[in-house]
Amino acid sequence: MDIDHLLTTSDPVAVDALKAEACRLRDAVYGRRVFMRGLIEISNHCRNNCLYCGIRRDADRDPQGANCPPGRRLRRYRLTPQQILDCCRTGYALGFRTFVLQGGEDAWFTDEVVCGIVEAIKRQYPDCAVTLSLGERGRESFRRLRDAGADRYLLRHETADAAHYAFLHPAEMSFDHRMQCLRDLRDLGFQVGAGFMVGSPGQSLATLKKDLRFIEDFKPEMVGIGPFIPAAGTPFENERAGSVELTLRLLAIIRVLHPSVLLPATSALGTMHPRGREQAIAAGANVVMPNLSPQDTRALYSIYNNKLSTGSEAAESAADIRLRMKAIGMDVPTDRGDYRK
């Protein structure tokens, strides 16, 4: 595959052929099926200060570093273990068999607390997979989570280029540690998700090619990509959003490079375009992640502006997505949707 050409060509015939090949490869591994994951946003507290992210530590301050007036501050929340289990109950009834617990790096969610939640979910719903997406932790911590029964872990690498990583993150964060986390997770037997934003500030053709090479070499079981969307109150709030078109093209390229990958049609794509998620499926994606978070906390998990379905209920988001997928001829099974080698 001529990746350089496919990344840059303006020939719609070549791009369509790429997407058709991506769908053919997906269907050969998984059939015409889209797997649902119930996303539960457990906390918007975060000790990190990623320059692009709307729930970064300094989202409580204005860009000059002073405290915001009370009305402008991001209200922080965390769900209780009971609230999380309630989301799972709702999700189970709606046919979800994977729950994704996602949150900022919140010290309240110690190993003990997270293990307790994972064990409770596994006890109540033994036929479900539990995915964690709680940022960087130490290897011992990952081991405890795995022993408690967590099946999968999502940790986007954000960029496979060390200098670009340093441009997107404060000095206290490290590219090497990020990559070490991904290797540890793999070693410990997690199905691992990596990924990156498309069109993040400082991204170039060269950094994208490194992302693709990383995916080809590491072969994460899951790869989450979506357009960068500026987030209010962040250093990048006035930057340009990433392109839907390039995101779709990259989805197709990733499917061709790694045919058995689980590839979500992300909410960021759905936010940028009313048919973004349908277009992602037509480019080779096969996962959707409707939101199961309580209605009153959704708007607070504001990692970027105008995030999709902040106003709706779990049942609404799930029904909407199911309908959309069936309308384009895809099955939406009640299934854990595990990785297939």
Nearer to ligand 5AD, 129 or 134 (CB): 134
> How far apart are CB 276 and ligand 5AD at their closest, in Å?
13
For β-strands 222-227 and 35-36, DSSP reports them as: unpaired
Under rule CB under 6 A, residue 239 binds ligand 5AD: no
103 part of the interface to ligand 5AD, by CB under 6 A: no
- For residue 188, what are the contacts with CB-CB under 8 A and spacing of at least 6? 139, 142, 143, 146
- Hey, how many other C-beta atoms are within 10 angstroms of the C-beta on 104? 25
Our CB check for ligand 5AD shows the closer of 208 and 229 to be 229
Q: How far apart are CA 183 and CA 217, in angstroms?
A: 12
CA distance linking residue 291 with residue 267, whole number of Å: 9
**9 contact partners, CB below 8 Å, separation of at least 6:** 15
Confirm or reject binding of residue 158 to ligand 5AD (CB under 6 A): yes
Residue 106's nearest CA partner among 158, 146, 170, 48 is 48
# of chain residues touching ligand 5AD (CB under 6 A) = 12
- Give the list of residues 6+ apart from residue 114 with CB closer than 8 angstroms, or none: 101, 132, 134, 145, 148
- Reference 229, options 337, 304, 327, 138; nearest CA is 304
CA distance 145 to 162: 28
Q: Considering the rule CB under 6 A, would residue 156 count as an interface residue with ligand 5AD? A: yes
- Considering only 89-97, 161-169, 224-232, 284-292, which stretch makes contact with ligand 5AD by CB under 6 A? 224-232
Single residue of 85, 115, 197, 321 touching ligand 5AD by CB under 6 A: 197
d(CA 144, CA 112): 9
303 near ligand 5AD, judged by CB under 6 A: yes
Buried b (16+ CB within 10 A) or exposed e, 209-236: ebbbebbeebbbbbbbbbbbbbbebbbb
Minimum distance from CB of 52 to ligand 5AD (Å)?
A: 4
The answer to whether residue 193 forms part of the interface with ligand 5AD (CB under 6 A) is: no
Determine if 263 is a binding residue for ligand 5AD (CB under 6 A): no
| Binds ligand 5AD by CB under 6 A, chosen from 22, 79, 85, 268 | 268
Find the part of the chain contacting ligand 5AD (CB under 6 A) among 73-81, 221-229, 254-262, 280-288.
221-229
Question: What distance in Å separates the CA atoms of residue 324 and residue 332, rounded to the nearest whole number?
Answer: 10
The values of phi and psi at residue 160, to 5°, are: -90, 10
Interface with ligand 5AD in residues 46-75 (CB under 6 A): 52-53
Among 99, 109, 142, 304, binds ligand 5AD (CB under 6 A): 304
Residue 161 binds ligand 5AD (CB under 6 A): no
**x-marked contacts with ligand 5AD along 6-25 as a string, rule CB under 6 A:** --------------------
Out of 114, 229, 254, 263, point to the residue binding ligand 5AD (CB under 6 A). Answer: 229
Looking at residue 335, the DSSP 8-state letter turns out to be S
Question: Is 228 a binder of ligand 5AD (CB under 6 A)?
Answer: yes
CB of 143 to ligand 5AD, least distance (A): 22
Find out whether 221 and 191 touch, Cβ atoms under 8 Å.
Answer: yes
Closest CB 271 distance from ligand 5AD, rounded Å: 9
Residues near ligand 5AD, by CB under 6 A: 52-53, 156, 158, 197, 226, 228-229, 231, 268, 303-304
